[in-house]
Amino acid sequence: MKLAVAALSVVGQVRQNNEDSYGRFEPENPQELREKGRLFVVADGMGGHRGGAIASDLAVRSIRQFYYSSNDTDRPRTLKKALLYANDKIYEHSLTDDNLTGMGTTCTAVLIHEGNAYFAHVGDSRAYILRGGILEQVTRDHSLVGEMVRSGMITDEDARNHPRRNVITRSLGVNNEITTDTPRSPFSLARGDVILLCSDGLTSLVPDEEISAVLASSGAGKACQTLVDTANGRGGKDNITVVVIEVIEL
Ligand code: CA
């Protein structure tokens, strides 16, 4: 299987620090690659002082560590357990320092293994798939405005401008228990599919139609850069993180 992958994370125009983190893990060892596959993660941290950055970094590192060291051959189950492990790690770490109390992070992960994509997700970062020119949001936002959109109270556009758009209803590390989503898993990949993982710094400024047009018209590297530049050019109100994964050959 051949993928083209590009990833970028920028602080934006307003924030002082980048509290987003991402991971792209593609084992160099052929056997490990074949057995465990490739794993990509976007995490958007929150919490005072340095808490947000610590939480998102810890999420990405813990998920990688758990996933690639596990002997469980059920890959999607291992991925899900990896998020629960990350939740524990962040929560435990938050108890060690008063400055880190309540820190947490979103987490959107995709595992690509034997032609399938397995998603695992908590929070309001997103995963999308572009197939045949059609963009589909794979994940459900665990946010107040996400629930309002789903219940029909407000539109996507209202949600992007809503004063409480930052209120997240589920995140890693804030509580000692967590429920993760595993949307559309497994998703059988086809040549030409493009997967996008991103933080809300992108989606709060760039609507789906534009994301779709960019992904459909350029390769992973250029698309990733264009998406980040577009959000940044519109004020870059938040940290912006984008991972683009293009299936070149199955
Ligand atoms: Ca954010």
pLDDT over threshold 80, residue 206: yes
**What is the model's pLDDT at position 57?**
98
Question: Residue 20 C-alpha to ligand 1 middle, in angstroms?
Answer: 7
Question: Residue 241 C-alpha to ligand 1 middle, in angstroms?
Answer: 9
Question: Residue 29 C-alpha to ligand 1 middle, in angstroms?
Answer: 34
Strands (E), 59-133: 104-105, 107-113, 116-122, 126-131
Question: Residue 239 C-alpha to ligand 1 middle, in angstroms?
Answer: 6
The least confident of 88-97, 136-145, 179-188, 221-230 is: 179-188
SS (H, E, C) 177-237: CCCCECCCCCEECCCCCEEEEECHHHHCCCCHHHHHHHHHHCCHHHHHHHHHHHHHHCCCC
Helix (H) or strand (E) holding 64: helix 51-69
Question: Residue 96 C-alpha to ligand 1 middle, in angstroms?
Answer: 25
Question: Residue 28 C-alpha to ligand 1 middle, in angstroms?
Answer: 31
Helix (H) or strand (E) holding 248: strand 240-249
Q: What average pLDDT does the chain have?
A: 96
**Of residues 97 and 49, more confidently modeled:** 97
**What is the model's pLDDT at position 185?**
81
Question: Residue 244 C-alpha to ligand 1 middle, in angstroms?
Answer: 18
Single out the residue of 63, 177, 52, 59 nearest to residue 102, CA to CA. Answer: 52
Q: Residues 71-85: what's their mean pLDDT?
A: 96
Q: Residues 73-88: what's their mean pLDDT?
A: 97
Question: Residue 9 C-alpha to ligand 1 middle, in angstroms?
Answer: 11
Question: Residue 156 C-alpha to ligand 1 middle, in angstroms?
Answer: 17
Question: Residue 44 C-alpha to ligand 1 middle, in angstroms?
Answer: 5
Model pLDDT for residues 185-194, shown as the tens digit of each residue:
899 999 999 9
Q: Residues 220-232: what's their mean pLDDT?
A: 98
Model pLDDT for residues 121-158, shown as the tens digit of each residue:
999 999 999 999 999 999 999 999 999 999 999 999 99
Backbone angles phi, psi at 89, to 5 degrees: -60, -45
**Of residues 166 and 220, more confidently modeled:** 220
Model pLDDT for residues 19-49, shown as the tens digit of each residue:
999 999 999 999 999 999 999 999 999 997 7
**What is the model's pLDDT at position 201?**
97
**What is the model's pLDDT at position 49?**
79
Question: Residue 15 C-alpha to ligand 1 middle, in angstroms?
Answer: 10
Split at pLDDT 50, 70, 90, the class of 184 is confident
Question: Residue 43 C-alpha to ligand 1 middle, in angstroms?
Answer: 9
**What is the model's pLDDT at position 207?**
96
